[in-house]
Amino acid sequence: MASFVIEGGHKLHGEIVPQGAKNEVLQVLCATLLTDEEVTIENIPNILDVNNLIQLLRDMGVKVSKSGSDTYTFQADNLNLAYLESDDFLNRCSKLRGSVMLVGPLVARFGKAMISKPGGDKIGRRRLDTHFLGIQKLGASFEYDAVNGRFCINVEKLKGAYMLLDEASVTGTANIVMAAVLAEGVTTIYNAACEPYLQQLCRMLNRMGAKISGIASNLLTIEGVSSLKGCSHRVLPDMIEVGSFIGMAAMTGSEITIKDVSYENLGIIPDSFRRLGIRLEQRGDDIFVPAQEHYQIESFIDGSIMTIADAPWPGLTPDLLSVMLVVATQAKGSVLIHQKMFESRLFFVDKLIDMGAQIILCDPHRAVVIGHDRNFCLRGGNMTSPDIRAGIALLIAALGAEGNSRIHNIEQIDRGYQNIEQRLTALGARITRIE
C-alpha cells in the first residue's frame, strides 16, 4: 500500500491547471453506450476510477482509442452481451461506484442489465433506490438475487412516465435520464439534480439527438427518440480540485493562480471560501489567490456563528466540506461545519485533532472548528486516508503543518486526483511517494 511523506511548512507559488471533472467523466463515459456511432470525449483525467471504467468498457466490447493525452474515442457497436452477465463483470462493478450508471444505457439500448452492489468510498450509506425506482417507473422490472448480491433488470420497451424523485441524486438522475432518452413517449423528472456535470451530460445527449428540455433546472422533460448518433464532448474542469487548490493556498499562506476554472460553473464555491476570510480574485477564467498570512471567518449579520453546510446544487457540494474544515483550523474565529449528506465523512477529524487542531465533533454530521489564527501550527502526523476527499484534506493539513507527515492508503487520493504529487511539487511542495 503506497504512502505520501510530506514535509510541511513550504510556501507554494505558480500556476496550476485543474483536471477534467471526475464526476462528469463517469457519467459521459456510460452515455457512450447509448449509440453505435463514435463518441469523442476530451479532457479525461488520468485517475484510477476513470481508468477502471474505461477498461471495463473495453472488456464489454466497446472499441476505445486514445487520440491525445486526454482525448478518447468510444464506439459501442458490438458489445459482448454475454460478458455483461459474467462473474468477472459483476465483481469489477462491485469495486467501482460509477458502474451503477451503466444500468440506464444498457436497459435503454438492450432491454436488460445486471449489476452487483457497487463499491466506492467509506463515507456512509449511498442508496440506490432513486436509480431503481426511476427506471422501474419507465417500465423495467427488478429482481434481487440475494445469494449472489446482484440486481437483474429487464424490460420489453421503456415507456415515458412522470416521476418525482425521492432525493435529488446526481448519479440517480443521470441514470434515469440516460434510460429515458430512448424510451417511448415523454418522461418528466421532478426534483432532478441540476449540477453542472448533469447539465453537461444533458447537453451531450442533445448533441447526440436526444430531446431534453429544462436543463439546469430541477424539472427535466425528455421526449424519447428511437436512436442516438455520435458526437464530440469536452469535460468541464473539476470544481472539487479548484476548491482544493484554493484551500491549499490559504492553508500554506501561498500565492497561486488556478487556470481555466470555468468560473461560471463554480456556483457558490468561491463565495463559501470568502466566508472563511480567504481573498480570491477572478481574472478572466482564472482564479488568483494572493498570499495571506491571516484570514478571519465572517459571522452572520446578526453576529451568530458562521455555519457552512452542504446542499444539493446550487448549494455547496459536500465534496468540499472536508477541505473547508481543514482550512478553518488556521483561520481566526469559529465555524460550524454541517455535513448533511453523508454520516461518515467527518470521522477523519480525529487525525486533525491529533495534529493540534481545535475541533469539537458534535455528532457524525457536525463539527465546530475553533481557528488558531496561526498562533500555533498543526504538527505533522501519521494518518490514513478513509476516502478521496478526506485524503486531499489531510494532504492540505500536512502541507500547512510543521514537520513531516505520512499519509497511508493514498490509493484513495489517486482515485480522484491525477499526478497530484508531481503537480504540487512543481508549485514548491515537498511530497514523496513511497511504495
Question: Which of the residues are catalytic?
Answer: 121
Residue 409: count other Cβ atoms within 10 Å of its Cβ: 16
Q: Is the four-CA dihedral 155, 160, 163, 167 of positive or negative sign?
A: positive
Q: How far is CA 185 from the centre of its chain?
A: 32
DSSP for 107-174?
HHHHSEEEEEPP----SS----HHHHHHHHHTT-EEEEETTTTEEEEE-SS-B--EEE-SS--HHHHH
Tell me how many degrees the CA angle 405-407-411 measures, rounded to the nearest 5: 155
Q: How many CA atoms lie within 13 A of 53 on its CB side?
A: 32
Beta strands 219-223; 186-190: pairing state? antiparallel
Q: What does the buried/exposed string (b/e) look like for 358-395 if buried means 16 or more CB atoms within 10 Å of the residue's CB?
A: ebebeeebbbbbebbeeeebbebbebbbbbbbbbbbbb
Q: Check residue 111 and give left, alpha or beta (phi > 0: left; psi -120 to 50: alpha).
A: left
Taking each helix axis from N to C end, the angle separating 196-207 and 170-180, rounded to the nearest 10 degrees, works out to 10
Give the whole-angstrom CA distance, residue 212 versus residue 224: 9
| Angle in degrees, CA 17, 416, 132, rounded to 5 | 125
Provide the pairing of β-strand 38-42 with 231-234: parallel
d(CA 427, CA 435): 23
CA distance 113 to 99: 12
Q: Which is nearest to 371 in space by CA: 425, 418, 335?
A: 335
Q: Which of 19, 71, 34 is nearest to 233 (CA)?
A: 71
